[in-house]
Amino acid sequence: MKPIQVLVKKELKVEFRSLQGLVASAMLSFMILMSLRFSLTDSTMLQNSGVLWASILLTGLGLVTHISTRESERGTMDLLKLAPITRYQLFLGRMLGSLFLLWILSTIILVMYVILFGNPFAGDLALAYLVVLIGCTGLSAVGTLAAGSATPLHGGWMITSLFAIPILLFTVIEAAVRCTDSLITGSSDFELAFMLLIMYNAVFITGGAWLSELSN
């Protein structure tokens, strides 16, 4: 457990000292939300939570890719690979580091969403926030795995998106959208969608750790 904590602590320290990834991602989220706020004229589209998750998916994946690309471009990935830790510990440490930063980003996005689009969750805002935090876990796992494989390649950030978005869209994001939509509409889908979301996260974290170990 210790090496994972050390990796998470390092990731947070490096990001908080530079704020490159968080600030850029938060600005991009703001622009995406603003663009959608003024371009979507069909009010039924605004009543659901797709806009929120589109923003989290695009900018969150960008943040995870940025963290991985930074590590590869600087050559510090070799330093991590030289440490006497297993590849799954390395994956989990990097994934959790990205996850903490994603949680900060998604909190900012949720606040902006509530300000720009009103609070469609009414009294269930805390539950919606919990869904957002859990949804970020799968995003971080798939993003870290995809970015880890793709960033050494030319145009790796684009390959990461091409690989990760289809996987996330039909699993984590779909389940998360169903969760938050059910909170808005008050339908009874929430429990099933929430279970699905947790299951997808468990599969992606376990699969990511396993594939990392295999790649050794």
Q: Which residues bind another protein (CB under 8 A)?
A: 2-3, 6-7, 10, 13-14, 17-18, 74-76, 78-86, 216
Closer residue to another protein, CB minimum distance, 5 or 35: 5
Shortest spacing between CB 216 and another protein, in angstroms:
7
Shortest spacing between CB 80 and another protein, in angstroms:
8
Q: How many CB atoms lie within 10 A of CB 1?
A: 7
Closer residue to another protein, CB minimum distance, 74 or 166: 74
Closer residue to another protein, CB minimum distance, 10 or 37: 10
Closer residue to another protein, CB minimum distance, 45 or 74: 74
How far is the C-alpha of 117 from the C-alpha of 193, rounded, in Å? Answer: 23
Closer residue to another protein, CB minimum distance, 47 or 149: 149
Closer residue to another protein, CB minimum distance, 188 or 216: 216
Shortest spacing between CB 157 and another protein, in angstroms:
20
3-state secondary structure the chain: CHHHHHHHHHHHHHHHHHCHHHHHHHHHHHHHHHHHHHHCCCHHHHHCCHHHHHHHHHHHHHHHHHHHHHHHHHCHHHHHHHCCCCHHHHHHHHHHHHHHHHHHHHHHHHHHHHHHHCCCCHHHHHHHHHHHHHHHHHHHHHHHHHHHHHCCCCCHHHHHHHHHHHHHHHHHHHHHHHHHHHHHHCCCCHHHHHHHHHHHHHHHHHHHHHHHHHHC
Shortest spacing between CB 4 and another protein, in angstroms:
10
Shortest spacing between CB 2 and another protein, in angstroms:
6
Shortest spacing between CB 92 and another protein, in angstroms:
13
